[in-house]
């Protein structure tokens, strides 16, 4: 089953999730074939993450074990999940929204100890 199909089935519009490290809340807007819209911050700024980002996650994480999620001073670590996500959306820290979505549908595991890491969940 495709990741986007799982998202459409398991995460309804309006679902509130928290970022992995800061525990800030964000809202999942529309989930549709072309991507996922998340609403972030007090002004609920929409960010759209394309479906190709979600669909490519298993291939990106396969056989890597634990990898770092994030960034330092808006610069992603080489080989981090953030560097992967930024290749699809140029929004800094977009991985903070992708990670909880993928965790919710059972695609990844998250290690929240600093530095936060993820790995592909064994199916």
CB atoms < 10 A from the CB of 122, how many? 5
Range of the domain at 62: 3-120
In the three-class reduction of DSSP (H, G, I as helix; E, B as strand; rest coil), residue 123 is classed as coil
Total number of domains in the chain: 1
CB atoms < 10 A from the CB of 50, how many? 14
User: Which helix (H) or strand (E) is 101 found in, with range?
Assistant: helix 95-104
Please enumerate in sequence order all residues whose Cβ is within 8 A of that of 42, keeping only pairs 6 or more positions apart, or say none.
none
Residues 36-93 pLDDT 10s: 999 999 999 999 999 999 999 999 999 999 999 986 656 778 889 999 999 999 888 8
Residue 114: pLDDT band with limits 50, 70, 90:
confident
Tokens of 117: 């890491």
pLDDT of residue 98: 97
Return mean pLDDT, the chain: 91
Q: Is the pLDDT of residue 123 over 70?
A: no
Over residues 31-35, the mean pLDDT reads 91
């Amino acid at each position: 089953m495709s990741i986007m199909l799982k998202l459409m089935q398991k995460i309804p519009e309006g679902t509130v999730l928290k970022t992995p490290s800061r525990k800030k809340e964000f809202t999942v807007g529309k989930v549709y074939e072309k991507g996922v819209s998340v609403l972030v911050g007090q002004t609920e700024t929409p960010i759209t993450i394309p479906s190709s980002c979600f669909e490519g996650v298993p291939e990106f994480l396969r056989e890597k074990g634990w990898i770092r999620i994030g960034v330092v001073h808006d610069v992603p670590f080489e080989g981090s999940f953030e560097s992967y996500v930024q290749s699809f959306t140029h929004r800094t820290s977009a991985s903070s929204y992708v990670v909880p979505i993928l965790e919710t549908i059972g695609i990844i595991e998250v290690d929240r100890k600093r530095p936060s890491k993820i790995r592909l969940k064994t199916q």
